[in-house]
Amino acid sequence: MAKKLSKALTTIEQYKSQSPHYAELLTILEEILILREEHRRKLPGVIFFIDDRLVGKKLESGFPLVDLSQDDFPIEYAQAYFLDLLKIAEKDSPGETLELREKIEMGEIQFRDLLLAHFFSEDEGEMKGDELGKEEAAFDLIELFIEECMRPAFELVAEKYGSIIEKSRWSEGFCPICGKEPKIGEIKNQEGKRYLFCTQCGIEWPYKRIKCPFCGNEEQQTLAYFTVEDDERYRVDVCNECRRYIKIVDFRSTNEEADLDVEDIATLHLDILANEEGYD
């Protein structure tokens, strides 16, 4: 993991010089990656209850390995990481984030409720806006931190069960570990296979190229993609049935190894363009 972190930090520095308008966000990502590794090392192992006898059957039936709705995992690791993440935001907006951190530490806001609401609320933005009373720009970053605070724990699940997931030939459009929908993917190998990536768990899995991961649409006439500025290393796959999109990275021509955590930030312009075209 140390080698991977070092490579990611090097890539971030390169992207900062190439895309100065992303420098602030990439600096935040840099701090997150370093903090993520620190908290990952503090974990005693997999903190979720996963019955090894049922792993194969769950994957075969299309069920993710972790069910957060059971609410039976130790929350203190995620909370400690979240509070440290808030310190990153305090540099720019000390009043808002400091207030949130103090309310959690004092028990005025129950972190477990905040976390579970993020995963199970039908309208996450509305939930956080009402509960935290933040401006949109502020609680967008908080939303990122709420998602990120589970990443170290989910990474350990990915490490332990990754080979089983690979052998299971998981074919769903959502993550086999946590059930989260992907935001970005990658084209790899000489065969040009498409892989989806979960920013919640850091795991990739293969998925059909001519199929929408969100609604399962396989009608080629209603599936399309677009690129920007003649840079075919990046594209956006769109579905005109459900009006959803996913960003795709293809570094085969340059033989680079993509870090999809970094690429997700470095391709925010693609999110903007997709939204402007009416895709969610």
Per residue in 223-280, pLDDT (tens digit) is 999 998 778 899 999 999 999 999 999 999 888 889 999 999 999 999 999 999 999 9
pTM assigned to the model:
0.89
Q: Quick one: 148 and 185 in the same domain? A: no
Provide the residue range defining the domain that includes 262: 181-276
Q: Quick one: 271 and 210 in the same domain? A: yes
Q: Quick one: 84 and 127 in the same domain? A: yes
What's the pLDDT score for residue 166? 95
In this predicted structure, the answer to whether residue 133 has a pLDDT above a threshold of 60 is: no
Q: Quick one: 134 and 186 in the same domain? A: no
Distances (CA, A) of 161 to 154, 156, 236, 269: 11, 9, 30, 34
What's the pLDDT score for residue 136? 38
Rounded-to-integer distance, Cα 39 and Cα 152, Å: 7
Q: Quick one: 218 and 258 in the same domain? A: yes
- Domain contains 131: yes
- Domain contains 157: no
- Domain contains 165: no
Least confident among 124-138, 139-153, 163-177, 259-273: 124-138
Rounded-to-integer distance, Cα 251 and Cα 138, Å: 33
Least confident among 111-120, 149-158, 173-182: 111-120
pLDDT tens-place string over residues 56-101: 999 999 999 998 887 778 999 999 999 999 999 887 666 778 888 8
Angle at 78 between CA 72 and CA 81, to 5 degrees: 170
- Domain contains 99: yes
What's the pLDDT score for residue 93? 67
User: What percent of the chain clears pLDDT 70, i.e. is strictly above it?
Assistant: 92
Closest CA to 160 of 52, 264, 61: 52
What's the pLDDT score for residue 220? 95
- Domain contains 192: yes
Mean pLDDT of the chain: 89
| Longest CA pairwise span in the chain (Å) | 55
Q: Quick one: 131 and 192 in the same domain? A: no
- Domain contains 176: no
Among residues 110, 134, 152, the one where a domain terminates is 152
Name the H helices within 219-267: 260-266
Rounded-to-integer distance, Cα 175 and Cα 170, Å: 9
Q: Quick one: 147 and 225 in the same domain? A: no
Rounded-to-integer distance, Cα 199 and Cα 153, Å: 13
- Domain contains 175: no
Q: Quick one: 142 and 186 in the same domain? A: no
Give the N- to C-terminal CA distance of the chain in Å, as an integer.
33
pLDDT band at 137 (very low <50, low <70, confident <90, very high): very low
Distances (CA, A) of 151 to 32, 34, 73, 188: 11, 13, 14, 24
Number of domain units in the chain:
2
Strand partners, 31: none
What's the pLDDT score for residue 129? 38
Q: Quick one: 147 and 214 in the same domain? A: no
- Domain contains 230: yes
What's the pLDDT score for residue 48? 95
Q: Please give the residue that has the higher pLDDT: either 280 or 131.
A: 280
In this predicted structure, the answer to whether residue 7 has a pLDDT above a threshold of 60 is: yes
Rounded-to-integer distance, Cα 198 and Cα 185, Å: 9
Rounded-to-integer distance, Cα 46 and Cα 66, Å: 11
What's the pLDDT score for residue 175? 97
What's the pLDDT score for residue 71? 72
Least confident among 24-38, 81-95, 156-170: 81-95
Q: Quick one: 121 and 195 in the same domain? A: no
